[in-house]
Amino acid sequence: MTTVAVLGAGKIGEALLSGLLHAGRSADDLLFTERHAERAAELTATYGIRSADVPTAAKTADVLVVAVKPQDIDPLLDDLAGVVGPETLVVSLCAGLPTALFERRLPHGVPVVRVMPNTPMLVGEAMSAISPGRHAGPEHLAIVEELLSAVGKVARVPESQQDAVTALSGSGPAYFFFLVEAMIDAGILLGLPRAVAEKLIVQSAVGAAAMLAETGEHPVTLREAVTSPAGTTIMAIRELERHGVRAALLAAIEAARDRSRELGQPHDAD
């Protein structure tokens, strides 16, 4: 089994480590680096996974998963440059950063795979999109696909689509959480106790997601089945359309795509 080191164990790094443990991986096959000692101690106490420095992680692990903020990538690439070679697979989860950046800054021939996952990884329901860099072959994609399949679904996309993927499924869970939060507020507005409103909305979200995933029906068909002539739902839909919710989503996701492009840009000029 491959040994995986997560470099930067923040929210998504923890989601990956925890997801892999839940999927049955041994803590002995996992390790992480983390610049905050307190955070490292907390993760080791919670999951029993060892922390290490970058040279040790590079020596021990077959796969290095980079999970620092895009803005923090430069010092990490400096640390990695002296300790990795073509035998190490580098997997980047960083929004916006092109594989070409890693290839320029690391020794020649190091295989790099760019991935955009999302936080439902924590419960084995991630959506991850993967794209190979210049030196990554089918064998590297297969390793990444196997790793991420343990914590959710995986799609292969050309790297040119990764900024759109980031805006759609990388950030996507936040949009659903935002919607759920607003719907719970609506329940409060209508006088329901918060706990009741939360239960009603969370289970409605779970049920709707299961219908989308399991029936194979188009969302329009599923929505129409809820929308009775002159009933309650159409009154709500009219208000959603009147307030431009659809247009707001299109604009929001376009803005997220633009930000992903921007995050990659300072490095395009390297």
Ligand X SMILES: NC(=O)C1=CN([C@@H]2O[C@H](COP(=O)(O)OP(=O)(O)OC[C@H]3O[C@@H](n4cnc5c(N)ncnc54)[C@H](O)[C@@H]3O)[C@@H](O)[C@H]2O)C=CC1
Ligand Y SMILES: O=C(O)[C@@H]1CCC=N1
Buried b (16+ CB within 10 A) or exposed e, 214-236: eeeeeeeeeeeeeeeeeeeeeee
Q: Nearer to ligand Y by C-beta: 51 or 128?
A: 128
Euclidean distance between CA atoms 148 and 175, whole angstroms: 23
The burial class, CB within 10 Å (0-12 / 13-18 / 19+), for 210 is: exposed
72 is a site residue for ligand X (CB under 6 A): yes
The burial class, CB within 10 Å (0-12 / 13-18 / 19+), for 32 is: buried
* Tokens read off for 214: 């399991």
Site for ligand X in 32-51 (CB under 6 A): 33-36, 39
The piece of 59-67, 166-174, 188-196, 197-205 that touches ligand Y (CB under 6 A) is: 166-174
131, 169, 253, 258 from 166: Cα distances, Å: 12, 6, 9, 10
For tokens 């905050």, the residue is 36
Residue of 15, 166, 184, 197 that binds ligand Y (CB under 6 A): 166
67 is in an annotated binding site: yes
165 is in an annotated binding site: no
Q: Give every CB contact of residue 14 below 8 A, 6+ residues apart in sequence.
A: 43, 122
* Closest distance to ligand Y from the beta carbon of 23 (Å): 21
20 is a site residue for ligand Y (CB under 6 A): no
Nearest one of 75, 118, 68 to 97, comparing CA atoms: 68
The CB-nearest residue to ligand X is: 10
**How many helical (H) and strand (E) elements, i.e. helices and strands, does the chain have?**
12, 8
**Percentages (nearest 5) of helix, strand, coil residues in the chain:** 60, 15, 25
The piece of 19-27, 70-78, 218-226, 234-242 that touches ligand X (CB under 6 A) is: 70-78
Q: Nearer to ligand Y by C-beta: 131 or 171?
A: 171
92 is a site residue for ligand Y (CB under 6 A): no
Residue 129, strand partner residues: 116, 155
* Closest distance to ligand X from the beta carbon of 170 (Å): 4
95 is a site residue for ligand Y (CB under 6 A): yes
The interface mask with ligand X, positions 149-188, x = CB under 6 A, is ---------------------x------------------
Site for ligand X in 215-254 (CB under 6 A): none
Q: Nearer to ligand X by C-beta: 72 or 146?
A: 72
Residue of 18, 51, 99, 171 that binds ligand Y (CB under 6 A): 171
Residues at the interface with ligand Y (CB under 6 A): 95, 166, 170-171
Q: Which residues are annotated as a binding site?
A: 67-70
Residues at the interface with ligand X (CB under 6 A): 7-13, 33-36, 39, 67-70, 72, 75-76, 93-95, 116-119, 170
Q: Which residues are annotated as a binding site for NADP(+)?
A: 67-70
